[in-house]
Amino acid sequence: MRVLLKLSPQNQITLRKDLRAALGPCSHVEVEPVKGGLMLRPAIGLTMEEARAAYGKHGFTEEVLAEALRIVQRRGPGSAA
């Protein structure tokens, strides 16, 4: 299903209810640039190795990645951000 979403002046989007439901219960999403677009996935369950591979190249330290993973895991599925 393809849908058209509007970007706000702050470059934000609001996901429709059906698209949000498709992500399942999660409080954070991971966004990855892919050829021609973006891929959104629930961030729950990301391992340190995956976080290091995805974000380490952007200068995030092991300490920052570990704390981010702890926060996401502590909030768990369905928690408010």
Tens digits of residue pLDDT in 2-34: 889 999 999 999 999 999 898 887 777 888 899
* 60 CB burial (10 A radius; 0-12, 13-18, 19+): middle
Q: Give the mean pLDDT of 48-58.
A: 84
For residue 26, what are the contacts with CB-CB under 8 A and spacing of at least 6?
A: 42, 43, 44, 77, 78
Q: What is the pTM of this model?
A: 0.52
